Structure 1
Amino acid sequence: MAPPTLHKNQLFVGTFIHSKSLNQLDYLHDAAVAIDKSGKIVAIEPQCCDQGKAAEMLYPKLGWGAADVEVRACEEGQFFFPGFVDTHIHAPQYPNAGIFGNSTLLDWLNKYTFPMEASLAASTRARRVYGQVVRRTLSHGTTAAAYYATIDVAATNLLADLCLAAGQRAFVGRVCMDRLAPDYYIDEGGPDAVLARTQETIDHMRRIDPQGDIVAPILTPRFAPACTPETMAALGRLASEEDLRVQTHLSENVGEIALVCELFPDAADYASVYDGFGLLTPRTVLAHAVHLSEAEAALIKKRGAKVAHCPCSNSALTSGECRVRWLLDRGVAVGLGTDVSGGYSASVLEAARLACLVSRHLAMPYNAQGDASRATLSVEEVLHLATRGGAAVLGLDRKVGGFEVGMEWDAQLIGLNMVDDHDAADIDMEKKSGDVVDDGGNVDIFGWEKWDERIAKWVYNGDDRNTKMVWVKGRLVHQRASSASS
Structure 2
Amino acid sequence: MASSHHKKNQIFLGTFIHSVKLGELQYMHDMAVCVDKFGKIVAVEPQRDLENVMENVKETLCQKLAWDAHDLAVTIAKEGQFFFPGFIDTHIHAPQYPNAGIFGKSTLLDWLNKYTFPMESSLASLPKARRVYASCIRRTLAHGTTTAAYYATLHVEPTNLLADLCLAAGQRAFVGRVCMDDRDVNPAYYRDESADEALARTRAAVDHVRAIDPAFALVSPILTPRFAPSCTRECMARLGALRRSYGGGGDVEELPVQTHIAENAAELALVKAMFPECDSYADVYDRHGLLGARTVLGHAVHLTDAEISLVARRGAGVAHCPCSNSALTSGEAPVRRLLDAGVGVGLGTDVSGGYSASVLEAARQAALVSNHRAMPVGKWADVPDGERERARLSVEEVLHLATRGGAGVLGLGARVGGFDVGLEWDAQLVGLGLVAERPDVEHEYEHGHGHHGTRATDRGNVDIFGWETWEERVAKWVFGGDDRNVKKVWVRGRLVHERE
State the partner residue of 1:289. 300
Query: What SS class does the counterpart of residue 322 from structure 1 fall into?
Result: coil
In the alignment, residue 380 of structure 1 is paired with which amino acid? E
Q: Which of 165, 172, 178 is equivalent to 1:175?
A: 178
1:186 aligns with 2:191: yes
In 1, the alpha carbon distance for the partners of 2:279 and 2:406 equals: 29
Query: What SS class does the counterpart of residue 375 from structure 2 fall into?
Result: helix
1:129 aligns with 2:145: no
Contact 2:6–2:492 (CA<8 Å) still a contact in 1? Answer: no
Shift of 1:268: 0.3
RMSD of aligned Cα (Å): 1.6
State the partner residue of 1:272. 283
Q: Which of 63, 84, 88 is equivalent to 2:91?
A: 88
Q: Which of 486, 489, 493 is equivalent to 1:467?
A: 486
Query: What SS class does the counterpart of residue 99 from structure 1 fall into?
Result: coil
Return 5+ residue gaps in structure 1 as ranges.
482-486
Shift of 1:420: 1.2
State the partner residue of 2:437. 421
Q: CA 1:114–1:480 in 2, change beyond 3 Å: closer, same or farther?
A: same
Shift of 1:32: 0.3
Query: What SS class does the counterpart of residue 16 from structure 2 fall into?
Result: strand
Q: CA 1:4–1:15 in 2, change beyond 3 Å: closer, same or farther?
A: closer
Query: What SS class does the counterpart of residue 6 from structure 2 fall into?
Result: coil
In the alignment, residue 15 of structure 1 is paired with which amino acid? T
Shift of 1:229: 0.5
State the partner residue of 2:268. 257
Q: Which of 325, 339, 354 is equivalent to 1:314?
A: 325
In the alignment, residue 211 of structure 1 is paired with which amino acid? A
1:406 aligns with 2:422: yes
Contact 2:222–2:257 (CA<8 Å) still a contact in 1? Answer: yes
Task: Give runs of aligned pairs for residues 40-189 of structure 1, distance below 5 A.
Answer: 40-50=40-50, 51-52=53-54, 53-179=56-182, 180-188=185-193
In the alignment, residue 196 of structure 1 is paired with which amino acid? A
In 1, the alpha carbon distance for the partners of 2:438 and 2:106 equals: 49
Contact 2:7–2:38 (CA<8 Å) still a contact in 1? Answer: no
In 1, the alpha carbon distance for the partners of 2:411 and 2:356 equals: 24
State the partner residue of 2:404. 388
State the partner residue of 1:13. 13
Relative to the length of structure 2, the TM-score reads 0.93
Query: What SS class does the counterpart of residue 430 from structure 1 fall into?
Result: strand
In 2, the alpha carbon distance for the partners of 1:303 and 1:250 equals: 15
Return 5+ residue gaps in structure 2 as ranges.
247-253
Query: What SS class does the counterpart of residue 380 from structure 1 fall into?
Result: helix
Contact 1:5–1:38 (CA<8 Å) still a contact in 2? Answer: no
Q: CA 1:420–1:116 in 2, change beyond 3 Å: closer, same or farther?
A: same
In the alignment, residue 138 of structure 1 is paired with which amino acid? L
State the partner residue of 1:220. 224
Shift of 1:439: 4.3
Shift of 1:194: 1.0
Deviation track 1:296-348 (CA, whole Å, cap 9, x = no partner) reads 00000000000000000000000000010111011100000000000000000
State the partner residue of 1:436. 455
Q: Which of 375, 379, 398 is equivalent to 2:391?
A: 375
State the partner residue of 1:344. 355
In 2, the alpha carbon distance for the partners of 1:354 and 1:15 equals: 26
Deviation track 1:229-280 (CA, whole Å, cap 9, x = no partner) reads 0101110000010211000000000100000000000100000000000000
Aligned residues: 478
In 2, the alpha carbon distance for the partners of 1:5 and 1:399 equals: 20
Query: What SS class does the counterpart of residue 333 from structure 2 fall into?
Result: coil
In 1, the alpha carbon distance for the partners of 2:4 and 2:48 equals: 31
Query: What SS class does the counterpart of residue 259 from structure 2 fall into?
Result: strand
Shift of 1:72: 0.5
Q: CA 1:24–1:55 in 2, change beyond 3 Å: closer, same or farther?
A: farther
Contact 1:233–1:277 (CA<8 Å) still a contact in 2? Answer: yes
Contact 2:6–2:495 (CA<8 Å) still a contact in 1? Answer: no
Shift of 1:175: 0.3
Query: What SS class does the counterpart of residue 28 from structure 1 fall into?
Result: strand
1:232 aligns with 2:232: no
Shift of 1:400: 0.4
Q: CA 1:346–1:332 in 2, change beyond 3 Å: closer, same or farther?
A: same
Contact 1:45–1:54 (CA<8 Å) still a contact in 2? Answer: no
Bigger mean CA deviation after superposition, 427-436 or 25-34: 427-436
State the partner residue of 2:249. none
Contact 2:163–2:175 (CA<8 Å) still a contact in 1? Answer: yes
Query: What SS class does the counterpart of residue 234 from structure 1 fall into?
Result: helix
Q: CA 1:38–1:467 in 2, change beyond 3 Å: closer, same or farther?
A: same
Query: What SS class does the counterpart of residue 376 from structure 1 fall into?
Result: coil
In 2, the alpha carbon distance for the partners of 1:315 and 1:276 equals: 30
In 1, the alpha carbon distance for the partners of 2:332 and 2:126 equals: 37
Q: CA 1:387–1:399 in 2, change beyond 3 Å: closer, same or farther?
A: same
Q: CA 1:266–1:428 in 2, change beyond 3 Å: closer, same or farther?
A: closer
State the partner residue of 1:484. none
In the alignment, residue 210 of structure 1 is paired with which amino acid? P
Query: What SS class does the counterpart of residue 108 from structure 1 fall into?
Result: helix
Shift of 1:427: 5.2
Query: What SS class does the counterpart of residue 284 from structure 2 fall into?
Result: helix
- Identity between Structure 1 and Structure 2 (%): 65
Task: Give runs of aligned pairs for residues 237-252 of structure 1, distance below 5 A.
Answer: 237-242=241-246, 243-252=254-263
Contact 2:458–2:484 (CA<8 Å) still a contact in 1? Answer: no
Shift of 1:438: 1.6
In the alignment, residue 418 of structure 2 is paired with which amino acid? G
Contact 2:444–2:455 (CA<8 Å) still a contact in 1? Answer: no
Relative to the length of structure 1, the TM-score reads 0.96
Q: Which of 448, 453, 476 is equivalent to 2:472?
A: 453
